[in-house]
Amino acid sequence: MKTIRFFIISFMLGAASPALQAQITVGLKTGYTQAWEDYGDVNLPDDAIIHVNRFNVTAIGFYRLTPHFSLGIEPGFVKRGAACVPGWWGGTPGFSGDTQLTLNYVEMPLMLAANLPFWSPKLEFKAKLGYGLAYMVSANEKIVDLETNEELLKQRVDFDRRNLNRWDNGVYLGVGFGYQIGKGSLLLESTYFRSPKNADENNSSKNRSWNINFGYAFILSR
C-alpha cells in the first residue's frame, strides 16, 4: 500500500514538471467485463453458468522508462461477481434456483507495460503485467427460480450480515493495441484478473475477470 501511495504522489509531482510531461501518458478506457469465481472443489451442475456480464471504467497514467517500457497505474471501478453461487441460498431442500452476485470494486493496480511497433509506425502492440489492490464498495444479490424463471429476491447486500472480504488483491495480465491519431492513441485492450483470496469467507470464491476495453490516451505536453 505504501508503494502505491508513493508512486501516486511521485506521478502527480512529475506531471507538474514540464521536463517530465513528455514522458507521461494519461487516458481513459471502458468496456465489457466477464466475471466469475473459482469455487474450488465444489460440485456444480454440468450445465451451470457461473459467469456474469458486467462493465468497468479505468483511468490510465504511465511514465515512460525507456522507448518501449512504461510504469504506471490504472485506477478504476469494476463490477465483478458470479452466478450459481454455492452455499449462498439457504432455502428449502430441493430448491432449484440460481444466485447471482454483483461485487462492485474500486481498484488500484500498478502495471509494467511494453509497447512495441507492429506493422506500421502508428500501430503499437501492448503487453502489461501488474499487481493491485481492490476494495468492495457495494454488492448486490439476485435469486431466480430456474424452473419458473421468477425473480425471488433482488437486494443490496448488508456487509454487517454477510461474511464478505471487502479487500481483494491479485495479478493483472493484459494485451492490446494502440493506434496513433493526432497527439494521442486509440486503445483496444484485454485484461485478465486473478485473485488468490476468497470473496466470501465461508466458501471458496476467488475472483476472476476478463475485460475488453476501448479507450484513448495522450502524452502530456504544453
The more confidently predicted of residues 86 and 105 is 105
Q: Quickly count: other Cβ atoms within 10 Å of residue 218's Cβ.
A: 16
Domain membership flag for residue 16: no
pLDDT at 90: 47
C-alpha grid cell, residue 170? 491479485
Domain membership flag for residue 48: yes
Q: What CATH number is attached to the domain comprising 179?
A: 2.40.160.20
Domain membership flag for residue 7: no
Nearest to 131 by CA among 170, 77, 167: 170
With 0-12 / 13-18 / 19 or more C-beta atoms within 10 angstroms meaning exposed / middle / buried, residue 96 is exposed
C-alpha grid cell, residue 125? 502492440
- Judged against a pLDDT cut of 90, whether residue 217 lies above it is answered with yes
Nearest to 86 by CA among 206, 204, 208, 168: 204
- Judged against a pLDDT cut of 90, whether residue 124 lies above it is answered with yes
With 0-12 / 13-18 / 19 or more C-beta atoms within 10 angstroms meaning exposed / middle / buried, residue 128 is buried
- Judged against a pLDDT cut of 80, whether residue 194 lies above it is answered with yes
Domain membership flag for residue 57: yes
DSSP state of 164: B
Amino acid at 189: E
Domain membership flag for residue 76: yes
Q: From start to end of the chain, where are the E strands?
A: 24-38, 52-64, 69-73, 76-82, 97-118, 120-145, 151-156, 167-181, 184-198, 206-219
- Nearest 10 degrees: CA dihedral of 17, 21, 23, 24? 110
Domain membership flag for residue 131: yes
Report pTM: 0.83
Domain membership flag for residue 20: no
Distance CA 16, CA 24 (A): 10
DSSP string, 65-82: SSSSEEEEE--EEEEEEE
Reported as a single tens digit per residue, the pLDDT across 25-52 is 999 999 999 999 998 887 776 667 889 9
Number of domains in the chain: 1
The more confidently predicted of residues 141 and 88 is 141
Domain membership flag for residue 33: yes
Domain that holds residue 33: 25-219
Reported as a single tens digit per residue, the pLDDT across 57-87 is 999 999 999 999 999 999 999 999 998 776 5
- Judged against a pLDDT cut of 60, whether residue 20 lies above it is answered with no
Which residue's C-alpha cell is 478506457?
29
